[in-house]
Structure 1
Amino acid sequence: MSTSPSEPDARYRYVVVAVLGFAYMLNFVDRQLLSILVEPVKQDLGLSDTQIGMLTGLMFALFYTFFGIPVAMIADRGNRTRLIAAACGIWSIFTALSGLATGFVSLALARIGVGIGEAGCSPPSYSIIADYFPAHKRGRALALYLLGVPAGSFVGAVAGAAIADAYGWRTAFVVIGLVGVLFAPLLLLIVREPVRGRFDAAAPSDAGPPRLMEALSYFWRSPIFIFTGLACGLTSFCSYGLLNWTPAFLSRVQGMSLGQISGYFGVLVAGSMVVAAWIGAMVADKAGARNPIWYALLPGLGMLLVVPFLFGFTMVDDWSLSLLLLVPPTMLTSIYLVPALALLQNRTPPQYRATVSATLLFLLNLLGLGCGPLFVGMVSDRLTPVYGTAGLAMALQWLTPFIILAFLCQAITAWLIRREALQGK
């Protein structure tokens, strides 16, 4: 695309966000589908909660995070649209292959393939969006893209559970995987590669492709970026630990059927995350634009409010009241990402953006997705022999110390931003 920054096609750039957001939705459906179908998969394959925690978290996250940085380097050097389309095809094929698993090892290998493929989705997408929108509109654009998370949660819970309820969990994996395989070439046809750094006046046009260590050091030299990454990682630790185990909690502890979970849980989570994305966009484009400390401090303060609702969610006996109490934690643990991404995109030169974003996602997913579900599963395996089904509820309550740590990291980030501003005066 050769459109100049002064003549952007406003309608088309939102088409780009919508198409990339749909790809992210498929990404999240494929990532979360196993969490929705924990109970039938566990019973069919004879898995423990620790193994489920590894499959929904660590086995996926290790490869997702470690492949994310080299894939982002490719995105910073080459055609980002082709990379995303190829990645979509790869993760979708391995999602379909998950339906053919015969045990822990074969399902783990399929999850590894999904993780490798999904590493090529978000960092290049962030970079493309930054080249279609000026800085003061990136928060809203990123929020629209991130609606793929609630949409994916909704589709995974409703469509995935409905297909599994009617035809079995294996069919759900195969059908949803094939949807992604068919969508990948359409993405390539619709999304045009934008001019890199088109809205950044200081973008060096003759700098050449960045070196890996040069791009990585740009992130690790910044205390603000480091504590932002730690805050995001700890927040996602709590978010993934809670939401990946909520369907199992609702089934095992609250006695909900798979059909009920698909009807209520998907709508609740999707609605909560849509509201969270809107709040995150407001934080990024309004409060954060006026004073950058709010990029970190508002999401951090929100984390403190999670604690009482988390205990209420896990302690009430009625499943409908339990779902109602899940709404605030779902929203408050989802606000952080848009402000964090806006902070990084606005402070990073165009030639580093995909790699810096991948470094953030490395911390976010290795700490959060990799360790959060595994931690809850391991604690549940320890407590269940003593406390029965209440062991899973107690394991979820053990997320509280990590909620406090996430707040502290956000507070330190805000302090660092404030100190930097005072030193610059």
Structure 2
Amino acid sequence: MSAYDLVIRSRRAVLPDGERPASVAVTNGTIAAVEPHGAVLAAATEIDLGDTALLPGLVDTHVHINEPGRTEWEGFATATRAAAAGGVTTLVDMPLNSLPPTTLPSALAVKRDVAEGRVFVDVGFWGGAIPGNVPALRALHDDGVFGFKCFTADSGVPEFPPLSQEEMNEAFAEIASFGGLIIVHAEDPAVLAAPADGGYPAFVASRPPSAERSAVEQVIKLAEQTGVRAHILHLSAADCLEPLAEAQARGLAVTAETCPHYLTLSAEDVPAPVDGLPSTSYKCCPPIRDAGNREELWRGLADGVISCVVTDHSPCTPELKRGDFVSAWGGIASVQLGLPAVWSAARARGHGLDAVVRWMAEGPAALAGLPAKGRIAVGSDADLVAFAADESFVVDPAALHHRHPVTPYAGRVLSGVVQATWLRGEVVGDTPRGELLRRK
């Protein structure tokens, strides 16, 4: 009888202690052994990837799947299929823009019912903190959400309003009382302004770095006062790195993430309008800023002030992306492209695959409290990715699996091709085999 169900060999396995040749053995969906590349191992199936890298499945803790209620924007089947094609094996779904939003246990139950049997990768859920739902937060926590998202400014959808200063105080204190996690869209509404016109420069100017810094400083202050664990979402302004680094040096449990579009694109990349039509595929909130800001974000990653890179996959219908930078929906759909986008930019700056794995697998898994995810290690789930790091491709929107192929990456050449994705030791194919996860 075979000792293992599956053995995968690679001369470029990315392990917790770095990149090296290794053989990864799998039994019952779990990594049972990590051995030298040439080890003699009996297995029912053996795969030799040669020089193709073997990565742990990525963990994307910032995805808007939008189902139920806005399934025409995206859905569990399409989002998770795109995730698997991009090497992502675990998602945590945001509490908006679904209807109802995940702000009550009953809404969480609805979302789980809709997702059951339709997910190609594992999916967990964030809860939401909105005005008036503080009494429901502990029940959502007990029901297995991974934490609670709130906004300090308008969310873009009326059913998920922002928290006032007083409401933030109350929610932070309640979440701290049961050891929960608050994740914050941090922009100060007092600093935001209406764009002067519908172009991109006016849009960026209307959401200045100072709006992010002001809100981040307020989150840090509340985290210190309440003892809550807090996480800053989709950091785009490098001005925020200084207060975050100072808070972390003082031992506060405040972390931050950024996104592939902030690390790979810049305001200078946004094309001029063509036939009067702006390139609104680049619109997101907070906005993509200038190239100098982008390089500072890379330094924040290298220094460890930013611990995660996640996509903020936020799709909508093509109709909602039309118009100008005032009226178009703000969101970038990139769950399938996050890995090659980040790897393309990372390798150009001297970072290795081990750093990309730390930012896109280990870091997000640690944030959400998923110890069996994001690492090629004995006892972890056998969520694995064959990644041809030295190959390149041109982004063709027609090849994307998310529901609407709208992307600012169209036509770009990216490095790194996902050749196969395994979920608990089985190749992700045409049958959804993902599980719905609960916080443990």
After TM superposition, the score normalised by the length of structure 1 is: 0.28
More relative contact order in 1 or in 2 (CA 8 Å, sep 6+)? 1
